[in-house]
Each structure stands twice: as C-alpha cells, then as structure tokens.
Structure 1
Amino acid sequence: MSPPLRRLSSISTHLQQTCKPHLTTATTTPPKPTRTMSSLSPPPTAAPWREPFTTHLASLQPPIFTLATLHPVPHQLSPSASIPVLPRARTCVFRGFWGSLPPNERNPAPLNPPLFTSDLLTFTTDARMAKTSEIFDTAGPDSQTVSGGPSGGGGPVEAVFWVEETKTQWRVRGRAWVLGPGMDGDGDGARKVRGVLGERMRRTGKGEGEWSWEREVTAHFGNLSPVMRGSFGGPEPGAPVDYHQGKKLGERLEDLGDGEARGNFRVVVVVPEEVDRVDLREETRPRRWLYTYRGGEKEKTGEAKYAGGKVEGEWEVVELWP
C-alpha cells in the first residue's frame, strides 16, 4: 500500500535573516556568459504536465494567476507559537518559461540564442515588494546562501491558475528564486540560483552562440511595456501616497539600462515540485492528477511511490479523486 500523498515539508523552521536587495546599475551591453552553462546536465525531456498546461494557458489572456507566499510575523502577531508565518496571496502575470521568453517584436533588448528551455515558471516583480523579501525570508538554511545580495531565495510558494475555457485549475507548488543584477557574476546568490535553475534546464539543440543569465534578465525587462518599466523607478510600492519622494507613476522608460529601475527589477523563477491539475469539464466525472518531481532524488528506482502512479521521465503522475 502506497503512503498517503504529502504536502511540501514544514516551513516552520525556515525563517532566516531578511536580505534587503540593493540597487545595482544595469547595462544593455551583452555580458560575458556564465562559466557554468557548458557543464549543465539538463533533464532529458519536458515534464508530462507542460504540454496541456501550455495549451490551456493559450486561452488565458492575460495569463494571470494567484501567487501565495509565507509572511514571517513577530510571535505576538502569530495565531499560535507554532505558526511563525501567515499566508499572503496576490495576482501576478505569467511571463513564460525560464529560458524561452515569449516572442515580442517590441522588445528592444538583445536576446539569447534559443539554446535552452525549461519547465520553470517566471514572473516579474519589484524588489521593494513584500513577496520578494518573503521568498528570501522563508527559504531555510539549505536554500538561503546570500546575505544582502539581489539574487537568491528558495522560499516555498504556490501558483494557482484557473482556466475558464477548459474548466481546469492548475496549482504549481515549489520554490521561488529571485534573479537581479549581476546574474553572471560571482556573488553567492547568483551562483546558487544558477546551480538550482541549471539543473532543471534543457538544451534545445537549436541555435548557436553564447547564452547569458544577465542577458536573459534584461530581455524580461525589455519584454515589458515602457510604462511598466517606468514603474520600477516610481514610488515605493506600499508606502503612503504622501511619501512619494518626488516620484510618480505613469512614466515611460525606454532605457533598458536605467540604474534605478533595473536596481529594483527582479525576475522570479518558480521551480515546481508538485503540479496539481483538476479538470471540471464533465460535471458527473471530474478528474484530478498530481505530478510529483522525482528527478532530484538520490536513489532513482524508476518505480512509482503512489498507488496507481506512473513514472514519466523525471516525474511521477497519479490520478486522484477530485
């Protein structure tokens, strides 16, 4: 008899010292590629959930989802001594899979050659927003290796998509990693992020040339509208309106190397550990599947761990009662 399905491991011991991102001037000049790309041993095939997930999201315009994070709180504000965090949820925009940025003819940024793809979800955010610090602060000692740098993280998150056209709910559970300026550099956070994401990237067999992490982050910035880019140099999100410091919203930004905006801009990559899919198209027979990542396990037997489960590549899929 297979063991019952388990959620992600407890996060009650995962609180760490806050890492406050610092401003770093960016440039549109293509940086040197990171030295680690040539040594990657990427997954051989796409995740079994990727194709239906991508097909469903094609009908979701804009491709919005709800992102849930954990918010550390002082013990006097906690509902109990054993719960040092509270949930936080907000609506975000899916920006494509890491390594394969959606094409945009209006993107002025230099693009990487199409050498890599992945099953890692991306969205963009401002370093000054709460979700950024929450991703750092709940990472735990095994993930959090950066002290004061713009990149790092590893905090647990859940991304929930509801696709009305297909009557399907997708819940992606995993850990989130924050990518800021200096991703091709030698900072502890940048090295950690490159190592974690690199293990889940796949070579496409297409294109040629050099691939740069920093260039990929800049391309995400260029993929935003000029007004959205300008918001990263605007007033601090969540601050009182009277505390504007002479800044305002609605400013257009064409310069992809603007120091202030790029200092606040972050790409966040979600590394999935579980994907929960519920299909409600048939009222009398709804269906549900759970995909669990097995590729990172030290001992790979190729055998499913759940009753009725099936191993497909680096994932195990099992159908559940909805």
Structure 2
Amino acid sequence: MSSPLRRLSTISSHLPSHSSITHLTTRTMSSSPPPAPWREPFTTHLTSLQPPIFTLATLHPVPSHLSPSPSIPVLPRARTCVFRGFFGSLPPNSRNPAPLNPPIYTSDLLALTTDARMSKTSEIFDTAGGDSQTASGGPSGGGGPVEAVFWVDKTKTQWRVRGTAWVLGPDVDGESDGARKVRSVLQPKMRKTDGEGKEQDWSFGREVTAHFGNLSPVMRGSFRGPEPGAPMDYHQERKLGETLEDLGDGVARKNFRVVVIVPEEVDMVDLSEETRPRRWLYTYRGAGKGEGAKLAGGKVEGEWEVVELWP
C-alpha cells in the first residue's frame, strides 16, 4: 500500500523519465510545445501587479504526534514570494552584471528565487513522490506539489497555478540524480524563440547565475546572512544588510536557489463584472493526449484543456 505522502504527490506521476541533458538540442526543440492558452491573459494581467508578488503554498511534513490526524502526514505552509518571470526568458535588467544566455528560449514555467536554508526548499524535496524521490541527491531536484496564488486588484482577477516545483542549485549542469532529473523535466517544456544565438551557448547554470545577478546587491548579500528562522543569538558571525557585487561569492551561491513551477492546472476567476463573475480551469493534458476534451463543456487548445466553470 502506498503511503499518504506518496498519494499526495501523484500530480508528478507523469513527468518525463530520467535522462541526462546538459544543453538543449535542436531535435527536442523541433517539437517544442505551443504557448499555453492561459499565458497571454496571465502575462497581461501581471503587468498591473507591481511588484509581481504572489502566495506560494507548499506541504510541510510533520511527525505523527504533531499531525491533526494520523492520516494527514503534512500541514500547509504559505508565504509571499516575488514572480521572477517565465523560466528561460529572464526580464531585461540593465543593472544585471551576469553573463546572460542567448535569448532563444521561453516557457510557461514560473520562476522565483529563494534561500536553500528556507523551509520551502526542503518541503519541495520532502513532499516529492514516486519517480521524483530519486531527485533528492544534491542541491538541485525536487518535484513536490505547490500552489501559487496571484490576486490582481486592477483587473479583479485571481490566478491559482497548481503543479510541481523544481529547485535549481549550483550543480544544475552536473550529473547528480537531482540535476539530471531537473533538466529532464524542464527541457521538454521549453520552446524556441526567434532570438539570435547558438543553442550550445545556452545552459541551465548560466540561467541560475543570471537570476542571481538580476537581484539587487542587497538582496544578493542576504544569501550571506544568518540562517533564516534561526534564533537571533545564532548569528554565525554574519550580519544582515550586506551588499554583494561578486556573482561568484561561494557562501551566497551555496545558499541561492531558483525554483521553477511546472503548471498542471491553472484556475482563473474574473470578478471584474460584479453581476457576472466568471471562472475558467485550464488542465494540462500533454502532447498527443488532447484528442478530445475530458470535462463537460471543455475544449482542447494545444496541450491544454480549458472549461468554463461556475465561479
């Protein structure tokens, strides 16, 4: 019998199988997926959300004596995060000193940054189930279920993005189980753009460094600070408020992570008309699996099925 934690993680059961991928290839990109049908309205709405903050919910494993019920091995945890753009197409920033990847890829994958010492990182690893559990052998890996919730007040819309989260660390271009798993999951979700550049010059590691460089020097310095959540008298001879210009700083880069969310469901509620609220659910069906809609009133668009729901 499977454990409750493994059953909670069935959302990741159909992710691509393990393979070793260092660079993106023309063969894979020739069949890259079309843009998700929710991407354009989502992107448009987020232009009204400054800064682009959202709530990220994860599952936190707990000992049985702390659980409200023996059948519930996890508890919810939520926190406010900053949306850092779609993975592979980092927003332009003239102050970013990092060497950038050529602008030849984009995706529908949501990116954020975090400290490896924060609880969200371990929760993404610890709640991964099935095949994803092989991805916990290093700084990169994950596969735990998450939900990201955006409320855009100007457009009166709420976006709920449900899927799995993957952690990219300094080893992401390496050959650890976690690094190879991350690449095997994210690579098929990326698509070629019309930007100039050579595919062999694009790497996951360079994208992680670019995200680090896209932060302000004070934000970069925070990754050298004391461990988040530790008692105040446990300062490890470190302090807050440092600025950091060196993108290769060993301490900061050891703690810095990019988290990428692979959407499986996107639930959008539109409250812009008080007398006629509306709601749509987008469900990922995958390549070659969208011959017909599975939900009453549903319509297949590319790799996604969309259906209007009662709000």
Q: Normalising by structure 2, report the TM-score.
A: 0.91
Aligned length: 295
The alpha carbon displacement at 1:187 in A equals: 1.3
Partners of 1:253 and 1:232 lie apart in 2 by 9
What secondary structure sits across from 2:130 in the alignment?
coil
Query: Contact between 1:128 and 1:264, CA under 8 Å: does it hold in 2?
Result: yes
- 1:31-50 to structure 2, matched below 5 A, reads 34-41=22-29, 42-50=31-39
CA contact (8 A) 1:235 1:249 kept: yes
8 Å Cα contact 1:97/1:122 also seen in 2: yes
Matches within 5 A, 1:264-275: 264-275=255-266
Amino acid at match of 1:201: M
1:138-168 Cα offsets, whole Å, 9 max, x none, are: 0012212134400000000000000000000
Matched to 2:222, the amino acid is: S
Structure 1 counterpart of 2:126: 137
CA change 1:49–1:74 in 2 (3 A) is: same
Q: Which residue of 2 aligns with 1:100?
A: 89
1:204 matched to 2:204: no
Q: Does 1:179 align with 2:157?
A: no
Please state if 1:162 is matched with 2:151: yes
1:315 aligns with 2:304: yes
Partner residue of 1:224? 215
Percent identity reads 78
CA RMSD, 1 decimal: 1.7
Q: Which moved more, 1:244-253 or 1:201-210?
A: 201-210
User: The residue matched to 1:196 in structure 2 has which SS?
Assistant: helix
Question: Does the CA-based 8 Å contact 2:271-2:278 persist in structure 1?
Answer: yes
Residue type of the alignment partner of 2:116: A
| In structure 2, distance between residues paired with 1:191 and 1:141 | 16
Summarize deviations over 1:40-73 as a string: whole Å, max 9, x none: 2453310000000000000100000000000000
Task: Output the amino acid matched with 1:286.
Answer: P
What amino acid sits opposite 1:303 in the alignment? G
Contact residue 59 and residue 74 of structure 2 kept, 8 A: yes
Q: What letter corresponds to residue 130 of structure 1 in structure 2?
A: S
Rounded to whole Å, the distance in 2 between the matches of 1:174 and 1:214 is: 23
Q: Flag the structure with higher helix content.
A: 2
Residue by residue over 1:102-145, the C-alpha shift from the partner in whole angstroms, topping out at 9 and shown as x without a partner, is 00000000000011100000000000000000000000122121
Counterpart for residue 79 of structure 1: 68
Deviation of the 1:38 alpha carbon: 4.1
In structure 2, list runs of 5 or more residues that go unmatched: 10-20
1:15 CA drift (Å): 8.6
In structure 2, C-alpha distance between the alignment counterparts of 1:63 and 1:179, rounded to whole Å: 21
1:146 aligned residue: 135
Q: Which amino acid is 2:207 matched to?
A: E
Q: 1:103-142 residue pairs with structure 2 within 5 A?
A: 103-142=92-131
- The equivalent of 2:16 in structure 1 is none
Q: Which of 208, 233, 242 pairs up with 2:233?
A: 242
Question: Tell me, what secondary structure is at the counterpart of 2:167?
Answer: strand
SS in 2 for 1:40: helix
Q: 243, 248, 260: which is aligned to 1:257? A: 248
Matched AA of 1:43: S
Unmatched 5+ stretches in structure 1: 1-9, 17-32
Q: Distance in 2 between matches of 1:174 and 1:147?
A: 18
Structure 1 position 70 matched with structure 2 position 59: yes
Of 39, 42, 54, the residue aligned with 2:43 is: 54
Which letter does structure 1 place at the counterpart of 2:176? G
The equivalent of 1:13 in structure 2 is 6
Give, as a single letter, the amino acid of the residue that structure 1 aligns with 2:260: V
In the TM superposition, residue 216 of structure 1 has moved relative to its aligned partner by: 0.3
Q: Which amino acid aligns with 2:279?
A: R
Deviation at 1:206, TM superposition (A): 2.0
Secondary structure, aligned partner of 1:133: helix
Contact preservation (8 Å) 1:14, 1:138: no
Partners of 1:38 and 1:250 in 2: how far apart? 44
State the 1:35 CA deviation: 4.0
Letter in 2 for 1:139: A
- How far did residue 14 of structure 1 move? 5.9
Structure 2: which amino acid aligns with 1:315?
Answer: W
In structure 1, what residue type is equivalent to 2:285?
R
